[in-house]
Structure 1
């Protein structure tokens, strides 16, 4: 079990204020990693307990316009992954605060739009691309540069894709979302190939239906989602957490360029 330990390592999670991102942050901290999160909203109250419960260091960075201000919990800095300037400023401050330490990055920030294909606008699609694809890509790039600079021997980037990158989601109108998550899954092996020489592994995790603030917008679809899963329920964020910790740890040391689907069997029947 020592291979699952992240003791002494530092992790960055975007979109870590709530939902799957918060669960990933909690799981990594429980395994021993110090945690920093980037988000555009204040973190859930559960984030405040991670530092004490897990005996690790935590920090939260949040964006107001493009002005970066640091908080621990009481005093956050804000980071918007869709803004190149904000993302770079967030990394600069994070590097300073954590002495350039970084071993694990989980770009989890993402959005969805429930709109018919024939009604999607350029603006709608650009919003998804700017966060789900460009924000994720450049978060991974900046994280990789920081890992290379600090010479980590345990570099792991866990991209957050989706079940929607494997199938058409029958109950939702999310063609653009499926496309952005397909981009995430497709870029994973290519990035992994380039970063292997630096001892940085790159994998992705593809969650299925998860009970989060994003899916809370579709309460009328919940029963249908349950029926699509082999085990008859939708996931809680904690159900996805284990795959992230596994990919971040030395337990998956021989895995790179791979995708793990955690969907209750939806894509398999």
Structure 2
């Protein structure tokens, strides 16, 4: 095990005081976020605390005088709980009924048998099914875009969230989300790792298992991916291979690392979500995305195979296929080609493209016990783009 740099730095989260919809909120206060760097199994590295002092922010984090390796377990994270959030009794959460369930614990009977004290105006059984309270969730490629939107949704649903991204430091979007999480008295953590490196991903998952409040991984979204545009006849083979390496093999490595942790805990009902795309089902008109589309189509079949193999271990695997969404990356493309938005909107039955927050409900449903019998499915969220 290698030690980190001799001058460890402290990772923090800060940024403008807008929420995820761009609305200014002066109530948002600074929230430090621990950053874990996993380059070739090296240890934890932190962003300079001097940046905090420059911004006039006080932090209770101690100054790190030396590096901390992954094996040291010297760094502990505090799991924040929202003080005003209604508490859900874990015994009232839906569980795997098994092959021969008690009829009194099925359907309407299960609801009627809930203890009266757990049934109040805030916590009815259906809300409990969608809750991620007390769960640990991992999202790769969650530094920005739809991955960050998913991570925020999990935090708001009650989960302790770890974002894994290859970026060495959190971006400004992540730092804004961290401030929002602080407002909820919740914690979101950032880990740097490469999804195409199986050793790094296994180390990262094992670290999360050890440090999380639940002692396992309950939910994993394999979301990291890249896109390139080349005409098929001119596509460099090495570039094609790179897209497949990240979008397909990286998704498999992530799912495999998460499933190993989940299987090691017999009490876990795991949910693994693989981010595919509507481009895995249809061809994007006027776009030269042959490698991207091929990689996402492979993810669809990967999801079905893993669902079949891991279902007996009480691990569900589903794929999520977004259509066109107005992420910051897409917005820059639309600015460069104003006619693109009209073409995409005209091709959609709803005459528009999606907004990032419109993916939140679906991904929370897939992660939660509300989708406990959904396995091997592909959920297309495209506004109906693929039905024509």
Q: What TM-score do the two structures reach when normalised by structure 1?
A: 0.89
Match of 1:11 among 129, 137, 143: 137
> Helix, strand or coil for the counterpart of 2:271?
strand
Task: State the partner residue of 1:66.
Answer: none
> Helix, strand or coil for the counterpart of 1:150?
coil
The answer to whether the Cα contact below 8 Å between 1:102 and 1:150 also exists between their aligned partners in 2 is no
Task: State the partner residue of 2:330.
Answer: 215
Equivalence map 1:1-269=2 (5 Å): 1-41=127-167, 42-43=170-171, 44=173, 45-61=175-191, 78-98=192-212, 100-219=215-334, 220=337, 221-269=340-388
Distance 2:265 2:184 in 1: 25
Identify unmatched segments of 5+ residues in structure 1.
62-77
The answer to whether the Cα contact below 8 Å between 1:188 and 1:202 also exists between their aligned partners in 2 is yes
Shift of 1:37: 0.5
Shift of 1:209: 0.3
- Greater shift in the superposed pair: 191-200 or 79-88: 79-88
1:212-248: CA deviation from partner (whole Å, max 9, x where unpaired): 2442453212221111111111112211121111111
The answer to whether the Cα contact below 8 Å between 1:17 and 1:47 also exists between their aligned partners in 2 is no
Distance 1:119 1:198 in 2: 44
The answer to whether the Cα contact below 8 Å between 1:164 and 1:178 also exists between their aligned partners in 2 is yes
Distance 1:213 1:79 in 2: 23
Structure showing the higher strand proportion among its residues? 1
1:62-99: CA deviation from partner (whole Å, max 9, x where unpaired): xxxxxxxxxxxxxxxx1111223332332243333226
CA RMSD of aligned residues (A): 1.6
Greater relative contact order structure (CA < 8 Å, 6+ sep) = 1
Distance 1:191 1:107 in 2: 13
* Structure with bigger gyration radius: 2
Identify unmatched segments of 5+ residues in structure 2.
1-126
Shift of 1:50: 4.4
Q: What TM-score do the two structures reach when normalised by structure 2?
A: 0.63
Distance 1:211 1:186 in 2: 27
1:171-227: CA deviation from partner (whole Å, max 9, x where unpaired): 311011110000001111110111111111111110000112442453212221111
Distance 1:200 1:167 in 2: 28
| Cα distance change on mapping 1:50 and 1:149 into 2, 3 Å | farther
Distance 1:33 1:163 in 2: 28
Structure showing the higher helix proportion among its residues? 1
> Helix, strand or coil for the counterpart of 2:254?
helix
